[in-house]
Structure 1
Amino acid sequence: MEIKTIKPSPLLEKYILFYYELELNNDTYYAYPSDCNVVCLFEDADVTYSSNEIKITKTTSSTNSFSALNKFTSPLFVNNKGIVKEFVIIFKAFGLSQFITKNYNGIPFFKIEEFDDFFNKNDTFFQKTETAKIKIIEDFLLTKLNEKKDLKIIIKSISLMDNNELTIHEIAKTCNCSYKKLYRLFLAHCGTTPSVLRKNIKFRNSIKKIKSKDSYFKISDIALDLGFYDQAFFNKMFKKLSGETPKQFLKDVSVLSKKEIYFKNIE
């Protein structure tokens, strides 16, 4: 299976990476940590979270909902019962917080209460075409957009995390702010700490490199490319976030899109 992703409009590309649609059919799989917020719209489903597991169960009542994943740091087990339509919005690390006012720091999974009015006005959303769905979503999101203060600092900090081996203190200095201020801004904009987000960015970069290699690649070379001078430490970090060694991950996990969507299906 390959997932088709759709780019947001220019009005929202600052905050959103892409959209995609799925139809779940009694699927069980693992999803992996990232630097993004994943927001899912489910049709007629009861969605619950407990101990790194999301249960998505088809219902006969009209229970459409907006559900969001915060940045998580270990594999997430998705357990689906029944046939459920899903529309997914992948927000950038700081994206979702520009549309909501409630602080969800430390909450791994939550329903977005501020979006409750969406389905009151769009009860036939899942019957629309893909193009119509995106227009409806984007029109709605634009009514909620309220960009928080100092977003430029966050965007610059994330860019430095992605492209440099600077410490968090060095990143704060480069952005002309204190470590304490940067820490507070990350909690407000990204829902997590700078160190957690950087760890997830490094993990995603390592997946990209591993999946682009053949079976003869050296883990030590990838570790060095990512600034890890101790391969054992790199392996430990990778296994904590993925549940597997890099070599096992290469064999077991499927790439479902050019946008680096990774799932491990469970038979």
Structure 2
Amino acid sequence: MEEFVTRKPKNPFLHDTISYYYFHTSASDLLHKKYIYYPNFKNAFTIYKNSKVVYSENNSISTPDKNVDFSFLYSGVQKQFRTAEIIAPFDKIGIVFQELGINHFIEVSLSQIANDPIDKSFDYYGEEMIRLCDAIYAEKSIDTKVELLDSFFLKKYRAFDEDRLKKSIQQILSSTQKIQVKEVAQACDVSEKTLSRIYKKHLCCTPKDYIDVVQFRKALNDYLLFKKNSSLTELAINNTYYDQAQFIKHFKKLTGVNPKRFFKDVQHLGYEDTFWTFSS
């Protein structure tokens, strides 16, 4: 049996920084899944219990291992899809942050602790996180697990005062037309070089990468979350693509397949914006 459950933080204070938690489990010895996950401007910190995770350039595989108490991963802004394999039994927790959420729970810049393009392991919280995981996995109630996660992140919360980055992201997210890096830099009264430095320091990506991911994700959410069932041409126009051809090219670059195939195969997990494509 496999289960995938999503929950919002119970404490409203965290809603601006943490989008949701997910709990993904399977006790079956027969389950072996391979799935594709896609670029997102919301980034996830993932916990595996009793699983070993091995990385390659665009792939990771987790296998049961009783000698590994916990494995911790952080998946930041990525330029294209990645594949993952997961072999049961597994017990996995994801913390999905809002755009700049992770920066409110670390005391150094993100680039200092999560800038490896291949290895996504993330041991920043050390023994504190291990103690939290011991407590979480001792509980059966998901509501209690959520409360424990809330408590941990409330204690870790700090101000993040890079206003130029916040303003630039608001500009990108609210834009109703295809926005250029030059426009974003001008709106924030910084040079393109400075803007790029800020993005690389706190998001580990370039402003251009971020704009592309936002555009892709808006179209994906528009079609799959809001059930508009638009034509590809309408979806392209509504999400700031120049035309359908540019829309198709962009989707193939980020997902590996054309939009028709992508929307046919992708699956919605839980009640938030987690979308994976599974293969045998």
Regarding TM over 0.5, the answer is yes
Which of 142, 147, 154 lines up with 2:165 in the alignment?
Answer: 154
- Counterpart of 1:205? 218
- Counterpart of 1:143? 155
Change in Cα spacing, 1:109 to 1:131, as seen in structure 2 (3 Å) is farther
CA distance in 1, matches of 2:276, 2:120: 21
- Counterpart of 1:63? 69
Q: Please give the residue correspondences for 1:90-239 in structure 2 after superposition, counting only pairs within 5 Å.
A: 90-100=96-106, 101=108, 102-105=112-115, 107-117=117-127, 118-120=129-131, 122-128=133-139, 129-150=141-162, 152-164=163-175, 165=177, 166-211=179-224, 212-214=227-229, 217-239=230-252
- Counterpart of 1:15? 17
Which of 12, 28, 33 lines up with 2:34 in the alignment?
Answer: 28
Change in Cα spacing, 1:199 to 1:5, as seen in structure 2 (3 Å) is same
Counterpart contact for 1:70–1:109, Cα < 8 Å? no
Q: Measure how far apart 1:10 and its partner are.
A: 2.3
Counterpart contact for 1:69–1:109, Cα < 8 Å? no
Question: CA-atom RMSD, angstroms?
Answer: 2.2
TM-score (norm 1): 0.89
Q: What is the SS of the residue equivalent to 1:123?
A: helix
Which of 78, 81, 86 lines up with 2:84 in the alignment?
Answer: 78
Q: What is the SS of the residue equivalent to 1:42?
A: strand
What letter is aligned with 1:32? Y
Counterpart contact for 1:64–1:119, Cα < 8 Å? yes
Q: What is the SS of the residue equivalent to 2:100?
A: coil
Q: What is the SS of the residue equivalent to 2:66?
A: coil
Flag as ranges the 4+ runs of structure 1 deviating above 6 A: none
- Counterpart of 2:268? 255
Q: Measure how far apart 1:245 and its partner are.
A: 0.8
Moved more, 231-240 or 160-169: 160-169
Percent identity reads 25
CA distance in 2, matches of 1:213, 1:148: 36
- Counterpart of 1:244? 257
Counterpart contact for 1:70–1:107, Cα < 8 Å? no
Q: Is 1:51 paired with 2:57? A: yes
Change in Cα spacing, 1:16 to 1:234, as seen in structure 2 (3 Å) is same
Q: Measure how far apart 1:115 and its partner are.
A: 1.4
Change in Cα spacing, 1:31 to 1:260, as seen in structure 2 (3 Å) is same
Counterpart contact for 2:58–2:83, Cα < 8 Å? yes
Change in Cα spacing, 1:222 to 1:30, as seen in structure 2 (3 Å) is same
| Structure 1 runs not aligned, ≥5 long | none
Q: Measure how far apart 1:133 and its partner are.
A: 1.8
Counterpart contact for 1:28–1:80, Cα < 8 Å? yes
TM-score (norm 2): 0.85
CA distance in 1, matches of 2:252, 2:92: 29
Aligned length: 264
Which of 71, 89, 98 lines up with 2:95 in the alignment?
Answer: 89
